[in-house]
Amino acid sequence: MTWGILAGALLLTLVTGAVLGASLGLAGFVLLEFQAGGATDLAITSVWNVFTDFTLSAVPIFIILGDILLASGVSTRIYNGLTPLFHRIPGRLLHTNIAVTTIFGAVSGSSTSTAAAIGSVGYPELSRRGYDKPAIVASLAAGGTLGLLIPPSLSLLIYGATQNVSIGKLFLAGIIPGLIIAVGFSLYLMLASLLKPELTPNDEEKPGSREILHGLGQIWPLPILIFFVLGTIYLGFATVTEAAAMGVMAAILLGFLWGDLTLRKLWRSFLSSTVIFGAIAMILLGTIILAQAISILGLPRDLVDYIATLGLSKYEVLVLVVLVYLLLGCFFDGISLLLMTLPISFPLMMALGFDPIWFGVIVTILMEVGMITPPVGLNLFVLVTMTNREVDLGQASWATAPFWLVMVLSVVLFTLFPEIVLFLPSFY
């Protein structure tokens, strides 16, 4: 009965398009009322405790930070500054998409915001130069997913705040995997451009070292912003929430002095951020209620006991969890998928002996995969819309498939060698 109510809530959401947070919250209330002896008051207390947590207040602040960077035109300056660096490499300016989304992810924390910010600059520029349009969209969509992994990551922040895991360690854990995946993307672009020269135009432009140094000199304020956001956390000068607030102030100053931010654009950024956080908060509210019901009823413990009777090893269970995330990623956006599944997946994986820092990175990568997986791959939809349908969803999905494979293989790599993920956090 209990599992039937839980499955029914998910099915209702998928079939009817009901609001995810409301569906999960109602399912939680039903379980608490009829399966847990009317313990609905406990859910209200749990919601209050989470929403008044100081750490969670960093989430809307980081969303504001990303929107301000998007509105101020900082992404354009970063893109133009790094462009001369890649003219001599096979794949040429397609690598710029990966490099800029990686750097932008270090101050944004949002996958879709990163893809939109860099896509608004990269797609018109590269399509004008004659690059293959599906390849442009694919590189932008895949590069945008790094915004969820490269710190400050919104998903790692929510994961740490809701599961009581060190956010500082999670941020450190995301650095090396994020860079490895970015390198994997670039290696694929090099190989693809060598096998299919038509992906890139016959561009005779070959900037010299002076042009490259000049371009890099144009992005000098960016390390300052990254320091305000990340350096203050790692040096112990500020909490995550305080660092996010300093990042917002630094972004506003850079936007006015270095970018093209105006008071009107700043106000629109605040409005947009409020709407985005409202949607996330609604989902979070529902998952808190459901998580409380699941915890009281002992569903994770029952699931672990059932898996024990099947004789599966911890890594066989991990494979099943990965497959579930890949499947659900076809239908839910990243943050929704994270909040919806953690009440079951987190206690299950901890009971099997997996490290919570490592699992946070793995879950984030699986969420990234969902961002470029149709039919609900948000990054693909955003970029296809930005091309004015010059590239359709089918073309974008097919061109993005190799990047999808790189991310799945990275999960295998980090499972075989978890020290890659846990190396930097061990020093925190």
Q: How many alpha carbons lie under 13 Å from residue 96 in its C-beta half-sphere? A: 29
Average pLDDT, integer, range 225-232: 80
Q: Inform me whether the pLDDT recorded for 130 exceeds 80.
A: yes
User: Two tokens at 151?
Assistant: 């710190």
Average pLDDT, integer, range 334-345: 81
Find the length of the chain.
Answer: 428
Query: Exposure of 197 by Cβ count < 10 A (0-12 exposed, 13-18 middle, 19+ buried)?
Result: exposed
User: Two tokens at 327?
Assistant: 């499947």
Average pLDDT, integer, range 113-141: 83
pLDDT band at 404 (very low <50, low <70, confident <90, very high): very high
**pLDDT value at position 222?**
76
Reply yes or no: is the peptide bond before residue 152 cis, omega within 30 of 0: yes
CA-CA distance, 247 to 227, in Å (whole number)? 9
**pLDDT value at position 392?**
82
CA-CA distance, 365 to 145, in Å (whole number)? 8
Q: Inform me whether the pLDDT recorded for 193 exceeds 60.
A: yes
Which of 245, 254, 54, 237 lies closest to 160 in space, CA to CA? Answer: 54
Cut 0.85: pTM above it:
no
Q: Inform me whether the pLDDT recorded for 358 exceeds 90.
A: yes
Residues 145 and 373: beta-carbon distance below 8 Å = no
Please report, as a single letter, which amino acid is at residue 306: Y
Find the DSSP H helices in 298-392: 299-310, 314-328, 334-351, 356-371, 378-386
**pLDDT value at position 423?**
94
